[in-house]
Structure 1
Amino acid sequence: MSKTKLAAESLTTMTEMIFPNDTNTLGNLMGGNLMRMMDVVGAICAQKHSNRIVVTASVDNVSFKESIPLGSVVTLQAKVTRAFSSSMEVVIDVWAENIPAQERVSTNKAFFTFVAVDQSGRPIDVPQLITETEEEKALYDGALRRRQLRLVLAGRMNPSEAVELRSLFEV
């Protein structure tokens, strides 16, 4: 397996149309259905990077900025932002489109963490990430801070060990 991979190699796009069975009583996509779609596109993206089976380890704050009405075409785009030893942070952007009206709106963005596992379900190393664009570099630089915040919030890291977060708390 390659020791490194380009961020662009993990780019994954998924498109779905919203049907009545996807919606709530107001005729909008149910949040859980959107999260399922995000989990699927994120997992495919992480598998592309790692060439391994992956499991979802965490989901950062998912806020629902815009409702997604029945009949919309939803496009989800995922890309690995950073690879650690066995985990990968994936950013997922979501847009809803009303094709007849030629309207497209950004509805959601979230960071998911996936862990590559072997056939027994044990974590396994993944290739390191190579960034090329300014956006990829910015996402990569922020990923360690987001990871440390996740670990602190989960009680898996002592806040005093979160070196990347210190600047946020210094007065």
Structure 2
Amino acid sequence: MQSQFKFLCHVPLGINVPKLLKRYLLSSTGNLPEGGVLTIQDTRKKLKDLVGAQLVWGSSTEGVTVPPVPLSQDDLPVKKMSDSFRKAIIPLGSKPGLKEKYINYYGGIRFGRILEDLDTFAVAVSYTHTLDPTCAERKSPLSIVTALVDRIELSQDGIVPNKDIMMSGKVTWAGKTSLEITMNLDQEVDNVWKRIMVAKFLMVARNPQTKGAAVINKLVPEGPEEESLFQKGERSKSDRMLESQKTLLKTAPNEEERVLIHDLFLQTIDPKAHTFKVRVKPLDSVWMEDTSLKTLVICMPEQRNLYNKIFGGFLMRQAFELAYANASLHCKTRPHIEVVDDIAFKKSVEVGSFLFLSSQIVYTEGSKFMVKVHAEVVNPSDETRETTNDFYFIFNTRNQSVPRVIPKTYAESMLYLDGKRHFDL
């Protein structure tokens, strides 16, 4: 089968990795030489084999031998950042036939496809960190899933659809049960590789039997550069805990935010009416309630991940493409994605779920604006809903201001402040 992706399983010089593990990571069909190339499809197949996943929906996994889940980090070998370093190529330039899958109707890149590849790559890097180098042929006892996508910022040059993309990544922080994957995307422009994106994913390890947390290998940074990366991961963990306590669902807006909301409210009052009940829309603005765009996705087995849940990359692509459509309707021109911020995976999505996605323009500033997408699983029997994800996307028209979005209710005002907080990070 013709390769569409190149997954370069690079083992840095000086790293003492047994040949058995190298052979497992580098071989796609069992007959590639050491130093060969894996496609992303073959990488997914290896990951399925590694966790004993169903190759076909509904098939049995009986007879699969899985080692016990470690109970203590002390039972696991300590890892270095270089142990998990990997590269992958998306050959949009060297294999032009692949462009059809990645190109949009403007002739630009489908960013949702990039999010899918990032999620797959993050899982592959995570398992590289947790693999037991002495037991490469055994199944991994862990389930590793995406918990959070941290802020992703794209370069102003964006991504072009006719040049190869180089993905590289490694574990830059690890706690007891979670690990941070830092990934860089580079693209060749004028014979020079340029950085186009940096992304951080927070992954968590789970025990498939108990559904609880599972311990992972400790990470020991080497040298000042790695120590700096590790400390950034520690600060990010602390910041997430702090932000969780400052959410508007738990804490009232601060004084500056209260003044902002009051000022917006006064701008919608008709001075001739002498009442708070008559509301008018300021010039060059839209009511927030009029910026909603929704869709429903029936989650099929085709979109499942290694653990028979819906693939996180698929959820991100669906959310982004809805946000992109809403952004286009709002600005009446081509929007450019600039930032993805704080995608939280609160609950796994089961195969067969009805996934309800609701997008809204929640904040605007000049030519830039924030689109929030809220994802819920809908129970068709009683119509109850449970939140699974929140997504934040910042778009930019780059050449014209967009209509201001104005909240009308207190709930919309909280959405406005929430969007502004993510926008200002």
Q: TM-score range by the shorter chain?
A: 0.7 to 0.9
Question: RMSD of the alignment, in Å?
Answer: 1.8
Residues 49-88 of structure 1: matches in 2 within 5 Å?
A: 49-88=330-369
Helix, strand or coil at the partner of 2:302: helix
Residues 41-56 of structure 1: matches in 2 within 5 Å?
A: 41-56=322-337
Tell me, in whole angstroms, the C-alpha distance in 2 between the residues paired with 1:144 and 1:102: 31
Q: Does 1:33 align with 2:314?
A: yes
CA spacing shift, 1:104–1:148, aligned 2, 3 Å: closer
Tell me, in whole angstroms, the C-alpha distance in 1 between the residues paired with 2:410 and 2:383: 29
Equivalent residue for 2:407, pick from 122, 128, 131? 131
Helix, strand or coil at the partner of 2:419: helix
TM-score after normalising by structure 2: 0.32
TM-score after normalising by structure 1: 0.76
Counterpart position of 1:146? 422
Structure 1 unaligned runs (5+)?
A: 117-121, 150-171
Structure with a larger share of its residues in strand: 1
CA spacing shift, 1:102–1:8, aligned 2, 3 Å: closer
Q: Encode CA deviations 1:51-101: one digit per residue, 9 max, x unaligned.
A: 222122111111211111111110100111111111111111101124247
Helix, strand or coil at the partner of 1:60: strand
AA of the residue aligned to 1:143:
G
Helix, strand or coil at the partner of 1:75: strand
Tell me, in whole angstroms, the C-alpha distance in 2 between the residues paired with 1:102 and 1:131: 27
AA of the residue aligned to 1:136:
E
Structure 2 unaligned runs (5+)?
A: 1-282
**CA shift at 1:115, angstroms?**
1.5
Question: Whose radius of gyration is greater, 1 or 2?
Answer: 2
Q: Encode CA deviations 1:13-56: one digit per residue, 9 max, x unaligned.
A: 01110111111132211010000011011112222221222122
**Any conservation in 1 of the 2:374–2:391 contact (CA below 8 Å)?**
yes
AA of the residue aligned to 1:9:
D
Counterpart position of 2:147? none
Tell me, in whole angstroms, the C-alpha distance in 1 between the residues paired with 2:351 and 2:313: 15
CA spacing shift, 1:128–1:59, aligned 2, 3 Å: same
Aligned structure 1 segments of 4 or more residues deviating by more than 4 angstroms: 100-103
CA spacing shift, 1:54–1:102, aligned 2, 3 Å: same
Tell me, in whole angstroms, the C-alpha distance in 2 between the residues paired with 1:128 and 1:98: 35
AA of the residue aligned to 1:40:
E
Tell me, in whole angstroms, the C-alpha distance in 2 between the residues paired with 1:102 and 1:82: 30
CA spacing shift, 1:101–1:24, aligned 2, 3 Å: farther
Which stretch shifts more, 40-49 or 63-72? 40-49
AA of the residue aligned to 1:127:
P
Counterpart position of 1:97? 378
**CA shift at 1:104, angstroms?**
2.8
Which stretch shifts more, 31-40 or 103-112? 103-112
Identity of aligned residues (%): 24
Helix, strand or coil at the partner of 2:351: coil
**CA shift at 1:147, angstroms?**
1.9
**CA shift at 1:141, angstroms?**
2.9
CA spacing shift, 1:142–1:102, aligned 2, 3 Å: closer
Tell me, in whole angstroms, the C-alpha distance in 2 between the residues paired with 1:32 and 1:125: 31
**Any conservation in 1 of the 2:323–2:373 contact (CA below 8 Å)?**
yes
**CA shift at 1:111, angstroms?**
1.6
* Count, aligned residues: 143
**Any conservation in 2 of the 1:22–1:29 contact (CA below 8 Å)?**
yes
Helix, strand or coil at the partner of 1:47: helix
Tell me, in whole angstroms, the C-alpha distance in 2 between the residues paired with 1:145 and 1:113: 12
AA of the residue aligned to 1:110:
F
Tell me, in whole angstroms, the C-alpha distance in 2 between the residues paired with 1:56 and 1:96: 26
**CA shift at 1:103, angstroms?**
4.8
AA of the residue aligned to 1:139:
L
CA spacing shift, 1:4–1:17, aligned 2, 3 Å: same
